Amino acid sequence: MITPAQASWWITLCLVIQFLGIACFVFIVTKRIAPLIRAEHDFRLDRPWLRAQMLLKFWFGQWKHPRYRVAGTLHLFIFAGFLILSTRAFYLLMFGLADDLAAPSTTGGIYDIVADYAATIVFLAVSAAAVRRVFFKPARYAVPERYGKGHPVDAIFLLALIAILMVSESLFEASRTAIQIQQGATADFLPLLSLPWILKDVLGSASLASLWKLHLVAYFVDVLTFYFLLCYRPFGIQFHVETSLFNVFFAKLDRGTVKPVRWGVNDERLDQVKSFGIKKFEDFTWKHMLDFYSCADCGRCSDNCPASAVGRPLSPRFLTIKARDYAFEHFPVFGKSSNSHALIGGIYSDDEIWSCTTCGACEEECPLMVEYIDKIVDLRRGLVDDGKVPKSIQKALKALESRGNPYGKMEKKRGDWAKEKEFQQSCTVKVLDGKSSAKTLYFVDSISSYDDRIQAIGRATARILSAAGEDFAILGAAEKDSAHDVRRFGEEMLFQALRDHNVDAIKTSGVSRIVTSDPHAYNALKHDYKDVPPVEHIGQFIARETKAGTLKLNDVQGSSNVYAYHDPCYLGRHNQVYDDPRAVLDAIPGLKRVEMSRCRDRSFCCGGGGLMLFYEPQEEERMGVKRVRMAAEVGANVIVTACPFCMVNIEDAIKVSGMEGKMTAIDLAELVDQHLVREVPQPEAKGNEELIHAHA
Amino acid sequence: MEILVCARRVPDTSENEIQLNPAGNDIERDDLVYSINEPDNYAVEEALQIVAKAGGNVTVATVGGEEDEEILRREMAMGANKAVLLSDEVFCGSDGRGIATILKGFVQKGNYDLVLTGVQAEDAGAQVGGMLAAMLDYAFASLVNSIEVLDGKKLKISCEVEGGNKEISEIDLPCVLSIQTGINEPRYVGMRGIRQVASLEIPTYGASDLGVDKADVGEAAAKVKRDNYFVPALGKGAEILGGSSEEIAAKLIELMKAKGGL
Amino acid sequence: MTARIFAYIVHKAGVADDSAAELLAAAKKINSTASPTAVVTGWGAEVDAVCDSLRSSYSEVWKVANESLAYPNAELIRKALVKVLPQGSTVLVPHNHFGIDLAPGLSIKLNTAFVSDVLGIDGIESSFLKVVRQEFGGQVSTHVRCDVSSGVVINLRPGAFKPIECAPAGGVVVDKSGEVGALVAGRRYVETVVPEAGDVDISKEPVLVSIGRGIQEKDNLSIAQELAAAMGAVVSCSRPVVDAKWLPKSRQVGSSGQTVKPKIYLACGISGSFQHLAGVKGSPFIVAINKNPRAPIFQVADVGIIADILEFLPELTNKIRETKQVSV
C-alpha cells in the first residue's frame, strides 16, 4: 500500500516527465519542419476524397507491406498493435495515476483483451524482428561501403525500446491485477497467454509492497520510454511513425506524370523562373523533404532497383537517406547548421543522377509512398540548367533540337520506313500531309521511324491496323520525337518545344484517336501532352479486336517455342497495362506462355529507353543481360516485349550473354503480324522466323 | 584576360547527309542544319574556363551575315560576354586570307590578350588562325589541347603531335591559338539559355569600321576559289571481294592505299 | 610555270620523313619538268644526314642550319625561310601537325596564296593551279583553283601522292645557313610528353580497325592489334567488346560511345547495328569483314569480305607487312 502523499510524489514526477516530453517533442518537430517552410511549393490538397482512400488502403491497410512476406507480416502486427494500443497509451499516460491506483482499468473489457493480446504480439514481433536482423541479416539492409556505415545497433536499440514499452505496460497491468488479487478486490481480467497474464503468474508470489513498487516503477518506465521514443524518433528512421500518415495522404496521385518545373508556374511564365531544377537542398519541395524524413531505410526500393542491381552508382534508398542526413546536418535540432557539403557533387554524384532509367520500381515498392522519379528529374533539370550534361546525351539533345530526332537523321525521311518496297506492296500507309485525313493517328516516334531493325515493328503495327480495317495514317515528316525522355532527362524547354509542335500537328490532322507501339510515346501522349485525342497502345488495340473477332489469329503450327512476356516499364508499371498483352498471347491457339518471377509490377527494367540508349553508364553488367537470364530460368526461349527500346536492349543482351541461338526476342506486334489470318495471301512478314522455326 | 574567339557557322556533319545538288556544282543546301564549327565551340568553352579562373571577358566574333548570328547567340547563352558580327557586302566570297584580314581589323580595334580559333572548319582549310597570327605578328600554335595561364605575359600550352604525343611549349601573350577538339568538355547549352539571349543586340562592324581595304577582301581579292563539288564514283551496298583470301587481301590493300589509309 | 618549287622536308633523328618523296611526286604533277629544291632546317649532324640522303632524289638541297632550329619551331623556321626563299615561289609542305603550324603564316609573310590539305593536283591553267580537296570530313570533294601569280604555299595530304620512280638526281647541297641571321620567337619548346598506354582518342584516328563480337575471345584481340600496328591504325570496337571488359570504354564506337570520323573503317566481326553505326560519321571507306553474308553491315559498307576474321585478319596483316617491306 502506498500513501496518497507517496502517490502524489510519483504522479507529480511523471507529470513533469510528460510535460517535458511533450515540450521537447514539439520543439524537435518544429525544428524538423523548419526546412520544409523554406522549401519549394507543392500543391497536395487536391482530391481529398481520393487521398483519404489512399490513406485507407496504403497506410491503414498496409497494402504494400506483404510484398515482402516476413517483414511485411511482422510490420503489420507491429503497426496494428501500435494503433490498438494507442488508445490505452493515451489513457495510461493521462489517467494511469490520476485515479486510485489499484482501481480497475478505465478502458472497456473487450478493448482491454484486444489490447493485451496486441501488446503480446508486438512484443513477439519486435523480438522476431531483432532476431531476424541479428541472425538472418536480410541482404537489403546491408550498407555498401560507398554509402557509409549501417546502423545495426540503432535498429536493435529501437526494437528493444518498443519491447520495453510493451513489457512495462504489461507489467503495469499484471502488477495491478496481482495487487487486486492479493487485496481481494475484483481483479481485472487478463486474457490467456497474453503478456500481462504471463507476468501476473510470475508475480503471483511477490509481496504486496514489492508489487506496489513494481507497479509504480513499471509506470515510470512506461512514461519514460514512451516519451524518450517520442523525442528520439525524429532523429532517425523511426520518424516515419509520425510522418507516414502525412506522407501517404500527400502522396502523388498521378502515375506516369512528371512534376512541373515549379508548381504554380505555368509554361508561359517559365521564362521568369531564375533557376531550374534542384541545385541546393531548399530547391526540393516540402513533400520531397517529408519523403526524406519518412524513409524507414527498409531497402525495398533498392532491392528492386535495376540500376542498383547492375552496379550503377544509384541506390534509391541512399538517395533518400543521404538527403535525410543532409537535412539533419544542415537543419539540426540542436546547435548550428553545418554548411559543409554541396548537394550535387557533394552527396550526389552526376553519374548517380543520370543512372536512373525512371522505371518506377522503387516507387511501386515503397510502403511509405516515397517518390523518386520527380526528384531525379528535378536534379537533372538543375544539371541541365548548369550545362553539366554528359557528352553523348548532348549530342542526342542537339540532334533533337535541330532534326526532331536523337539520331540527327533528316526530318523528311521520317516516314520512309513505310515506303520499303516489299512492305508497300501489301500495305499502304497514309501520311497526314494536309491532303489526306484519317480517324486514327499511328504515332510512330523516332526509334521506330529510323532504326532499321525497329522499323520492322512499325511495319508490323501498320499491317495489323490495316487488317483490322482501321482508318489510320502517320504524321510522317511532320512528326517529331515525343520527347518523353527529353523531359525525364531534365531538358524541359526542349521537351515543351517538341511537344507543342506535335500537339499542333495532331490537332491540325483532325484525328480522333491515337495508337502507338511505343510505350514511351504512349505515356507522353497520355500524361505529358494535354488536349490530344485519347491514346492506346497497340497491345490494347489487338486485345480488343481479337476479342471482337475483327482480328483472327492462326495457331502456332507445331512450334514448340516457350514465350515469356516482358512487361515494359512504361506500359506495365506506369500505366498498369498488364493483362491485354497477355490476353493477346493467349489468343494465339497453342502458344505456350510462362511467367517470369519478376513480372507485372515487379518487372525488371530492360536497361531504359529514349535518351538512356545514349548514356554511357558505369555498371558491372547490363540490365538486359539479367533480364534475358530471368527468361531462360523459367524455361522460355522467346521473350515477347511490347516496346522498341526493350527490343533493342534485349536483342543486344542476347548477343552479349552468349545466348544467340538459345533465345530470341520478338515484339508483340511482330508476333501477331506473323499469326494474323489474312484473306489475301501476304508476302511473308519478315521477322525472326528462321530462328523461331528452327526450334519447331 | 581579354579573350577573342573567332568562330564560324558551318553545316553540321553529324546531322546532315552531305550530298551533291542536282546541278552537280554545289552541295545540296536545302535541308542543311547549321551550327558552330565544333572546334570553335571547344575554343569558347576553353575561353570561359580561363576567365572563370583568371578573370576577364570572352568575346565571340564571326565573319558573315545575319544568318550567322545564331551561333553568336548560342555562345552567349553558353556564357560569352560579348558577341560581334563582322559583316559587309565587300566581305562576300573572301578566301581564308580575306577572312584573316577582316579579323585582323577587328583584333586591332580591341585589346585582346588571347585570340582563339578552331583548328579547322568543315568546309575550309586549317589556315585562318595561322594567317591571322602572322598578320598581327603574334606568336602562334595549332592543335592546342591544353592551356595553362602562367601569368599575364605568357601561357603554357600543349599541342597534339604525331603518335598521340603532346608537345609542351611556352608562348608569349598576345598570341593566337588554334584549338583542337577534346581540349575540354563543353557545357550544354539548353533551349532555355538560347531563349534568354534571343533578343539581345549584336553589334555589327563593316569594312570601314574595321579599317579594312576592300581591295584586300571579298571575291575579287580571293586567290583561292572553289570550282565545283564532286563525289568520286561510289557503289551502292558493298562490293564483295572474291577470290582466294590472298587475292582478297591484296585487293583490299590496294583499295586502302588509294584511300590514303596505308 | 617558271616559279621555283621548294619542298619543305620534315625529318626526325636524321631521317627524312616519307613525305619527302611524296612532295617530290606532287611537284612533278605541278610541273613535270621542274626540278624541285628540298629545304631542310635543323642543326648538327642530323640535318647533315638528312641533306645527304635527299641528294639521290632532289637535284638541289638547301640546308639551313641554326642552333635555334635544333627542335622544329614553326615560327623560327618561318623566319628563316622568309630570308632564303625567293619571291613568287611555290612551297610544298606536308599537311601534318607541323605543316599546319608553319604553312599559313609562311604564306602571309611570303605574300603568296595558300591552299591547305590538298590531295590531288590537276595541273596549271594560265596563272591558276588546279587542285583537289575534300570537305565535310571527306564526304564531298572539290576542285579548287588557286591564283599562283605571286607564288603559293601548299599543304599536301600525307599519303595522297604516291612516290614515283626517279632517275638518281645527283643532288647538290647548298648551305643557306648564313643568310638567316639571329632568330627569336614568341613560342619556346619545353618538352614532349608521351601518353600512357590506353590513352588513345579514337575520335581523331583516320584509320580504325574495329572489332565486334566476331573476335569471340579476349585472347584473340591480339589479331586485331597486330593488324592495326601493321596498318598504322588504332583498334576500336562495338559495345559487346566493352561489356565483356576486353577493351576500355574509350574504344567504343556507337551512339552511347565515341563518335568517330575516320577515313577508313574496318568493321571486323561487327554486325552493323544502328546503334553502333550511329557513332560513325562522315563518309569513311567502310570495309566489312564478317562471316555472315546477311549481316546488316554489308548494306552500308563500301567493300565486303565474307570471311572469318580470325582467319582473314592474320592473313591481311602478313600481306601488309610484306607490302611494306617491299616499298621500303
* Cβ atoms within 10 Å, residue A213: 14
Position with higher pLDDT, A201 vs A388: A388
Q: What is the pLDDT of residue A688?
A: 44
Read off the pTM: 0.90
Q: Say if residue C77 is in the same domain as residue C126.
A: yes
- Taking 80 as the threshold, does the pLDDT of residue B14 lie above it? no
pLDDT value at A691 more than 50: no
DSSP letter (8 states) at residue A569? T
Identify the DSSP state of A431.
Answer: E
Q: Which residues of A400-426 are buried (b: 16+ CB within 10 A; e: fewer)?
A: bbbbbbbbbbbbebbbebbebeebeeb
pLDDT band for position A389 (cuts 50, 70, 90): very high
Q: What is the pLDDT of residues C140-180, one digit of tens each?
A: 889 999 999 999 999 998 778 888 877 777 888 999 888 88
| CATH 1.10.340 describes domain A267-385 | no
Q: How many percent of chain C have pLDDT more than 70?
A: 96
How many C-beta atoms lie closer than 10 Å to residue A443's C-beta? 24
- What's the order of all strands across the beta sheet hosting A440-443? A430-431, A472-474, A440-443, A513-516, A535-537
pLDDT tier for residue C322 given thresholds of 50, 70 and 90: confident
| Cβ–Cβ < 8 Å for B87, B64 | yes
Q: Give the pLDDT band (50/70/90) at residue A314.
A: very high
- Provide the strand spans (E) within chain C: 5-8, 11-12, 15-16, 37-42, 60-65, 90-94, 113-118, 120-125, 128-135, 140-147, 152-156, 172-175, 187-193, 207-211, 234-237, 264-268, 285-290, 303-306
Domain boundaries, position C135:
5-179
Q: Using CA atoms, how far apart are residues B44 and B64, in angstroms rounded to an integer?
A: 18
Q: Is the pLDDT of residue A686 over 60?
A: no
pLDDT for residue A645 is more than 80: yes
Question: Which phi and psi (to 5°) does residue C197 adopt?
Answer: -60, 140
Let me know: does A463 contact A420? Beta carbons within 8 Å: no
Could you tell me how many helices (H) and strands (E) chain C has, helices first? 9, 18
Residue A690 has pLDDT above 50, yes or no: no
Lowest mean pLDDT among A14-18, B25-29, C323-327: C323-327
C-alpha cell belonging to residue B149:
595561364
- Is the pLDDT reported for residue A27 higher than 70? yes
Beta strand B82-86 with B114-118: parallel, antiparallel or unpaired?
Answer: unpaired
pLDDT per position as a tens digit, B189-219 = 999 999 999 999 999 999 999 999 999 999 9
Chain-chain contact of A271 with B31 (C-beta, under 8 angstroms): no
C-alpha cell at A542: 489487338
Per-residue pLDDT at C210 exceeds 70:
yes
| Nearest of A628, A448, A415, A603 to residue A522 by alpha carbon | A448
> Using a CB-CB distance cutoff of 8 angstroms, which residues of chain A are in contact with residue B184?
none
Q: Are residues C174 and C240 in the same domain?
A: no
Is it the case that residue A39 has pLDDT exceeding 90? yes
- Is residue A230 within 8 A of residue A82, CB to CB? The reply is no
Residues C101 and C218 in one domain: no
Contacts of C249 in chain A (CB under 8 A): 616
**Quick one: C172 and C220 in the same domain?**
no
Whether residue A175 is predicted with pLDDT greater than 70 in this model: the reply is yes
| B31 within 8 A of B157, measured Cβ to Cβ | no
Question: Is residue C63 helix, strand or coil?
Answer: strand
CATH annotation of A550-694: 3.40.50
DSSP β-bridge partners for residue C7: C38, C92
What residues of chain C, 172 to 201, have a C-beta less than 8 Å from chain B? 185-195, 199-201
pLDDT surpasses 80 at C2: no
Task: Kindly identify which residue of chain A lies nearest to residue C278, measuring between CA atoms.
Answer: A407
* Half-sphere exposure in the Cβ direction for B111 (13 Å, CA): 2
Please give the CATH number for the structural domain made up of A410-545. Answer: 3.40.50
Average pLDDT over residues A412-439: 93
Q: Cα(C90)–Cα(B14) distance, rounded to whole angstroms?
A: 36
Where does the pLDDT of residue A244 fall: very low under 50, low under 70, confident under 90, or very high at 90 and above?
Answer: very high
Cβ neighbours, 10 Å, residue A182: 16
Name the minimum distance, in Å, from the CA of A395 to any CA of chain B: 9
Pairing of strands C60-65, C172-175: parallel
pLDDT higher than threshold 60 for residue A473 = yes
What is the mean predicted confidence (pLDDT) over C307-326? 88
The yes-or-no verdict on residue A683 having pLDDT over 60 is no
Distance from CA of B219 to the nearest CA of A (A): 31
The pLDDT-based confidence of B163 (bands split at 50, 70, 90) is: low
Chain B residues with CB-CB distance to A410 below 8 A: 16-17, 31
Q: Which residue has the higher pLDDT, A37 or A104?
A: A37
Task: State whether A652 and C255 contact (CB < 8 Å).
Answer: no
- Per the structure, how many domains does chain C have? 2
Check residue A570 and give its pLDDT.
97
pLDDT at position C328: 47
pLDDT tens readout for residues C239-248: 888 877 888 8
Supply the pLDDT for residue B245.
85
Q: Are B81 and B26 in contact (CB under 8 A)?
A: no
Domains of chain B: 2-221 (3.40.50.620)
For the stretch B218-245, pLDDT in tens is 999 999 999 988 876 654 567 888 888 8
Q: Which residues 138-177 of B are in CB contact (within 8 Å) with C?
A: 138-143, 156, 158-172, 175
What DSSP line would sit under A198-266, residue for residue?
Answer: HHHHHHTTS-HHHHHHHHHHHHHHHHHHHHHHHHHGGGSGGGHHHHHHHHHHT----TT----SSTT--
Which of A409, A416, A493, A501 should one mutate to test binding to chain B, selecting the residue with the greatest count of B CBs within 10 A?
A493
For residue C161, give the CATH number of its domain: 3.40.50.620
Binned at pLDDT 50, 70 and 90, residue B123 comes out as confident
**What 3 state SS string does chain B have?**
CEEEEEECEEECHHHCCCCECCCCCCECCCCCCEEECHHHHHHHHHHHHHHHHHCCEEEEEEECCHHHHHHHHHHHHHCCCEEEEECCHHHCCCCHHHHHHHHHHHHHHCCCCEEEEECCCCCCCCCHHHHHHHHHCCEEEEEEEEEEECCCCEEEEEEECHHHCEEEEEEECCEEEEECCCCCCCCCCCHHHHHHCCCCCCCEECHHHHCCCHHHCHHHHCCEEEEEEECCCCCCCCEECCCCHHHHHHHHHHHHHHCCCC
Same domain flag for C25 and C124: yes
The helix/strand/coil state of A564 is strand
pLDDT, residue A696, reads: 31
Q: Percent of chain C, pLDDT > 90?
A: 55
* Contact yes or no for B207/B91 (Cβ under 8 A): yes
pLDDT, tens only, A269-283: 998 999 999 999 999
Quick: pLDDT tens for C263-297: 899 999 998 887 788 888 877 899 999 988 878 88
What's the rounded Cα separation, in Å, for the pair B113 and B1? 6
Q: How confident is the model at residue A190 (pLDDT cuts 50, 70, 90)?
A: confident
Q: At residue A428, does pLDDT exceed 60?
A: yes
Contacts of B33 in chain A (CB under 8 A): 402-403, 408
pLDDT of C76 over the 50 cut:
yes
The most confident of the ranges A487-491, C12-16, C299-303 is A487-491
Task: Please give the C-alpha separations between residue C136 and each of B10, B12, C146, C254, C284, in angstroms, as whole numbers.
Answer: 9, 9, 20, 20, 11
Share of chain A above pLDDT 70, in %: 94
Distance from CA of A444 to the nearest CA of B (A): 21
Average pLDDT score over residue span A364-384: 97
Share of chain A above pLDDT 90, in %: 74
- What single-letter amino acid sits at A5? A
pLDDT score recorded for residue A101: 57
- CB-based contact, B190 to chain A, within 8 Å: yes
DSSP 8-state assignment for residue A524: I
Q: What is the mean pLDDT of chain A?
A: 91
Contacting residues of C for B121, CB less than 8 Å apart: none
Q: Which residues numbered 57-86 in C keep a CB inside 8 Å of some CB on B?
A: 74-75, 78
Maximum separation of any 2 CA atoms in chain C, in Å: 67
Yes or no: say if A562 and A636 are a contact pair by the CB < 8 Å rule: yes
CATH code for position C318? 3.40.50.1220
Nearest to A493 among B14, B15, B191 (CB): B191
Q: Please give the pLDDT value at position B122.
A: 76
Q: Output A188 or A373, whichever has higher pLDDT.
A: A373
Whether C189 maps to a domain, the answer reads no
pLDDT tier for residue A5 given thresholds of 50, 70 and 90: low
Locate CATH 3.40.50 in chain A: 410-545, 550-694
| pLDDT of A693 | 36
Q: Is B79 left (phi over 0), alpha (psi -120 to 50) or beta?
A: left
- C64 pLDDT higher than 60: yes
Helix, strand, or coil (residue C128): strand
Q: Give residue A104's pLDDT.
A: 62
The chains in contact with chain C, meaning 3 or more Cβ pairs closer than 8 Å, are A, B
Q: Is the pLDDT of residue A513 over 80?
A: yes
